[in-house]
Structure 1
Amino acid sequence: MPCHKLSAKAIETLFSRFEKADPAPQTELDYRNPYTLLVAVVLSAQATDAGVNKATKKLFALADHPAAMVALGEAGIRDHIKTIGLFNNKARNVFALSKILCEEYGGTVPADRSALETLPGVGRKTANVVLNVAFAQPTMAVDTHIFRLSNRLGLAPGKTVRAVEDGLVARIPARFMRHAHHWLILHGRYICKARKPECGRCPVRDLCLYEDKTA
């Protein structure tokens, strides 16, 4: 973990470069509407986006709204997602949250963190992703990539996910918050990798406080 934090000026420059390179980054999860996004994010826990997309292609063709998912049943959901890790528990959660959305929310996904976090399988990170992607709210979902980057770059060092989230929200300029989550995820996924960061092609190398940069 860097012993110092990036300056406000450096953070402004860092996100300006991300914005210039990719003005409107998108999630790599395939979805059709807020509901299918919610399901995809729930399924993505401890799974790759590519693996989730492969499983949901046929699932969403059959059920892209809560009532259809409930009609499919837990067993039907399980059959479509059995290639994903923890599929038994995830099938139960997807069925249960779909039923709740039908019974309590008229089949719509609430654009409210507290309501989302009451749904089975939905924690703070999942709620943040849904609020950001589906409802354009300036939330910050901290996954393993963002946690690593925040500490490695000196962007918002912290020992817990929540500490990093709060630090990022406090330090990233408001005008960048809509897309900051995806810029950081994509940077961590394809350039600032955990074991072998590709510092040689990093657009923010000169700003980064990581001491063990690769050639």
Structure 2
Amino acid sequence: MKKIKRLILSVSCLALLSGCGQKKTAAAAATQSPEAAATPTPTPSATVTTESLSPNAVTEYDKTAVTALINADLKAYYGAGIVTAVIADNISFSKKDGVITASGEYNYKDGSTVKSRNFTYTYLDRNVDYEEQSKDIGTETSAPKADLPSSTASSKTSGVTSDMTLQDTFDVTISSSITITVSANGDGNVLIQLTDTNGKAVKDLINQAKPVNTEVTETVPAGSYQLKAYTSGGACTFSYRTN
């Protein structure tokens, strides 16, 4: 009986000691700071590269984006309606170390004459953007006459001729450009001329043989002018707006 009692006492003590250990462990866990327990495992963040993914190869996306930038720049320089938009197929592209070089030729209106200039632009490909590095919009060269649109090819030299009649005169104030729309049938010529307030010719805006059905926009220095319409062989219909 004594042995049995001793065995029971030993088992009871072991149970008590085991329970105490569990309580201490649970208490230690309970006293751990909530911040430490809730801290998640850090994950690497995604990065967006600003360098070209194809530093030495021109992609179709490059061509499309750079062509749009060139057209926007030329339009900003000359004004709306002056420059014929260039297309990517007519531009020579090259690329080295992320820098795109784009060269070509564009046409623009100078009065009733179409002229051309060469251009070279360079852009740094930053993957999500293109940063202009340099530009050269070229030296003026005459466009081949065969390439001129029929609506802009003049059959007469600039200036008023003896067979022309002054149809109308308007006083105009121009900030940056003037747009002329002309319609005339029959024979003869139409001359729309811009002069200063003293009547001295500044620029022939339109000088064409009839029939005429065209619109021309010209950039001129800001100021006050007179707009004169001359015709031969009958009257013409025209309108204008200034910017």
The structure with the greater share of residues assigned to helix is 1
Same fold (TM over 0.5): no
Q: TM-score, normalised by structure 2?
A: 0.18
Structure number with larger C-alpha Rg? 2
Structure number with the bigger relative contact order (C-alpha 8 A, sep ≥ 6) is 1
The structure with the greater share of residues assigned to strand is 2
